[in-house]
Amino acid sequence: MKTTKLIVGLAFSALSLTSITANAQDKFFQAVGTPYMPKVEIAFNRYYTYEGLVDNMKKIAAAHPDIAKIESIGKSYEGRDMMTLTITDFSTGPDTDKPAMWIDGNIHSNEIQGGEFALYAAWYLTEMHADNEFIQQLLKDKTFYITPTINPDARNDFFNQPNTANSPRSGMMVLDNDRDGLNGEDGMDDLDGDGHITMMIRKSPTGRFIKDPQDPRKLIMVGADKVGEYEMLGQEGTDGDGDGRVNDDGVGYYDPNRDWGWNWQPDYIQRGALRYPFTLPENRNIMEFVMKHPNIAGAQSFHNSGGMILRGPGAEEDVSTYNREDIRIYDAIASKGEEMIPGYRYLTVYKDLYSVFGGELDWFYGTRGVFTYSNELMNSYLYFHKPSQGRGQDEMFEVDELLTMGDAFVMWHEFEHPQFGTVEIGGFKKTFGRAHPGFLLEQDAHRNAAFTIYHAYHTPKLSVMDVKEEDLGGGLKAITATIFNERLMPTHASQDLKHHIERPDYVTISGAKVVAGFVVEDEDFKKFSEQKMNPEKIAVANIPGMTAVKVKWIVSSGSNYTITVDSAKGGKASWKK
């Protein structure tokens, strides 16, 4: 009797589950290009702490074990695990045998949305895999290494401690901003306890400001011949060390994007650098991971803000590093990115912004020959789909009024200040301006993820084709094979070739007795370069993008043979007779 009840119970449970699934399917209809009934539900209209990011990453790996794995690549300064997702179709080979794309975000703590954008890329790849043929083929061919936050301590500091939209940039409090010996001990004072460092004003008979009668959020400076009602006291806070400046010791400042081992300069040359390259454990963890994964051919680092697709060099002194052939590839991919992400512009760091020494972007390319972009996320164009034309805060007030319904601004309110008496505190929240408001997050995340997928797609893809045999007589025959790179990026960047960063590509024939082996330099004019040592395994310096390389063997036997290609950044390919 108990057995019968158990069977009936299980059958009822199965029927209930089927019914629930059917009912859920009745309630949804797939939108084009979006995961339908995802295994992992993630809301991309809000931000996640370090713990929230890791929780979502673990859910992705658990829900998609055949295409996603999670691991810690090291510890942060405060001991948090730096979690990385490896995403590829493991049934088609190990991740290290395929060209790979590195994606990270949030190197600066206030540049928070890089974490969500990188997470979105991981979520989209895994959730779309089951039903999308393009993603299926992409993960057969490629690997993605995704680390949403590479500054986990400072990410949480931004959320959990009082800050402005521009603070802090770093994690460890080790530097003394104003050189008064305090190293940030007096902290940033959140007088009203709302988590946002806004502004302070005070009524004054000699004030230069009045509140806009039409909009009390706004302060208007009066004319030179008039007296206002308020004086501007500056940032919310106190003068903790008596030097006359408020919150000047908010955090000890360093810049994790000045810590990388390429064209590094000390702090007295460029403010923000630490003692030596890779002083920071977070950056050192990434460096060690990348060095262990020579298959990484492309990289993307998400920053904010301004709506830019950036490439190096970071400094004019490094212009000669970026070869014209590689710049053509950078230009081709980024120009497509400008189409994919409206309002974003393709720029060069040193020429269009400022000099950066010891930056991540230059380290990836300079030391590893990896084609790397840094996208500066968020652009005011996204608000009203028109250029802001330098409207600055006027536009921010308009956005807050029309699109965020007043949620972006802390209204002026009185506070008894220990040093200034009665003041009013108010202003824009720390999560507005540089960071996307929630309603813009998912669309911009998708467009930027699509750009990184396009970049990854154009990492090398090799194939062996057009294998020909020629009878030479005397028991000898020539075998010629064409190795074709079907994508834009070469197997070796010019920087790689210049400094011999990575090993050559190898084209090997097995199952035949090889007498001689050659790289075909010009088949029409019979120009060949012979490899006398180990002729069965021919070393090819580079296989350019959208280009073929030919190799040739003279063999004395072998009717059934296999030709294989092994490239660190180009992956593997084979052909069998």
Q: pLDDT per residue over 58-105, tens digit each?
A: 999 999 999 999 999 999 999 999 999 999 999 999 999 999 999 999
Alpha-carbon distance of 314 to 305, in angstroms, equals 17
Of 26-30, 214-218, 453-457, 478-482, the one with minimum mean pLDDT is 26-30
- H or E element in which residue 218 lies: strand 215-221
* Crossing angle (nearest 10°) for helices 113-128 and 50-63: 10
Tell me what pLDDT residue 390 has. Answer: 67
**More confidently predicted of 230 and 249:** 230
Tell me what pLDDT residue 26 has. Answer: 78
Alpha-carbon distance of 389 to 411, in angstroms, equals 26
Alpha-carbon distance of 38 to 42, in angstroms, equals 9
Alpha-carbon distance of 305 to 483, in angstroms, equals 42
pLDDT band at 388 (very low <50, low <70, confident <90, very high): confident
Alpha-carbon distance of 244 to 419, in angstroms, equals 11
DSSP 3-state assignment of 330? helix
CATH superfamily of 462-576: Immunoglobulins (2.60.40.10)
Identity of the residue numbered 479: I
Alpha-carbon distance of 456 to 441, in angstroms, equals 22
Identity of the residue numbered 73: I
Do the strands 513-522 and 527-530 form a parallel or antiparallel pair, or are they unpaired? antiparallel
Alpha-carbon distance of 179 to 241, in angstroms, equals 12
CB contact set of 455 (below 8 Å; sequence gap of 6+): 101, 298, 300, 333, 371, 373
Which among 553, 476, 472, 546 has a CA at the least distance from the CA of 509?
Answer: 553
Tell me what pLDDT residue 251 has. Answer: 52
Active site residue 71: no
β-strand partners of 69: 86
Residue 12 scores a pLDDT above 50: no
Sort residue 369 into left (φ over 0), alpha (ψ -120 to 50) or beta.
left
- Return the structure tokens found at 103: 């994606």
Which among 542, 571, 540, 563 has a CA at the least distance from the CA of 480?
Answer: 563
Residue 373 scores a pLDDT above 90: yes
Average pLDDT over residues 8-27: 54
- Return the structure tokens found at 435: 């960071």
pLDDT band at 11 (very low <50, low <70, confident <90, very high): very low
pLDDT band at 218 (very low <50, low <70, confident <90, very high): very high
What are φ and ψ of residue 425, in 5° steps?
-115, 135
What are φ and ψ of residue 282, in 5° steps?
-65, -50
What are φ and ψ of residue 179, in 5° steps?
60, 40
Alpha helices in 129-204 (DSSP H): 133-141, 152-160
Alpha helices in 416-487 (DSSP H): 438-457
Alpha-carbon distance of 203 to 424, in angstroms, equals 9
Residue 502 scores a pLDDT above 50: yes
CB contact set of 1 (below 8 Å; sequence gap of 6+): none
DSSP 3-state assignment of 252? coil
Alpha helices in 68-169 (DSSP H): 113-128, 133-141, 152-160
pLDDT band at 25 (very low <50, low <70, confident <90, very high): low
Residue 186 scores a pLDDT above 60: no
Residue 519 scores a pLDDT above 70: yes
Kindly write down the DSSP assignment for every residue of 95-116, as one continuous string: GGGS-EEEEEE-SSTT-THHHH
Domain made up of 52-157+256-378+437-457: CATH architecture? 3-Layer(aba) Sandwich (3.40)
Residue 221 scores a pLDDT above 90: yes
CB contact set of 103 (below 8 Å; sequence gap of 6+): 118, 121, 144, 145, 146, 147, 299, 300, 301, 302, 452
Average pLDDT over residues 134-144: 98
Which among 326, 304, 440 has a CA at the least distance from the CA of 372?
Answer: 326
Residue 498 scores a pLDDT above 80: yes
Identity of the residue numbered 57: M
Catalytic residue among 282, 360, 376, 502: 376
pLDDT band at 249 (very low <50, low <70, confident <90, very high): low
* Crossing angle (nearest 10°) for helices 50-63 and 152-160: 120
Q: Rounded mean pLDDT of the chain?
A: 91
Number of residues that make up the chain = 577
CB atoms within 10 A of CB 89: 20
Alpha-carbon distance of 84 to 143, in angstroms, equals 13
Q: Note the pLDDT tens digit of each residue in 284-325.
A: 999 999 999 999 999 999 999 999 999 999 999 999 999 999
- Cα→Cα distances 131→198, 225, 424, 524, Å: 47, 69, 56, 46
Q: What are the boundaries of each domain within the chain?
A: 52-157+256-378+437-457, 176-251+390-428, 462-576
Tell me what pLDDT residue 185 has. Answer: 44
**More confidently predicted of 24 and 85:** 85
Give ∠ CA 38-43-49 in degrees, rounded to 5. 125
Answer yes or no: are the C-beta atoms of 409 and 217 closer than 8 Å: yes
Which among 269, 244, 289 has a CA at the least distance from the CA of 95?
Answer: 289
The proportion of the chain whose per-residue pLDDT surpasses 70, expressed as a percent, equals 90
Answer yes or no: are the C-beta atoms of 470 and 477 closer than 8 Å: yes
Average pLDDT over residues 120-139: 98
- Return the structure tokens found at 282: 């977070």
Residue 3 scores a pLDDT above 70: no
- Return the structure tokens found at 142: 């490629």
- Cis bond before residue 205 (omega within 30° of 0): no
Tell me what pLDDT residue 208 has. Answer: 95
Tell me what pLDDT residue 129 has. Answer: 98
- Return the structure tokens found at 65: 């074990």
- Return the structure tokens found at 1: 């009797």
Task: List for the chain the helix, strand, coil content (%; round to 5).
Answer: 30, 30, 45
Q: Among all chains, which residue has been given the structure tokens 């088949």? A: 523
Q: What is the pTM of this model?
A: 0.93
- Cα→Cα distances 213→208, 396, 410, 426, Å: 15, 18, 18, 17
pLDDT band at 22 (very low <50, low <70, confident <90, very high): low
Alpha-carbon distance of 62 to 56, in angstroms, equals 10
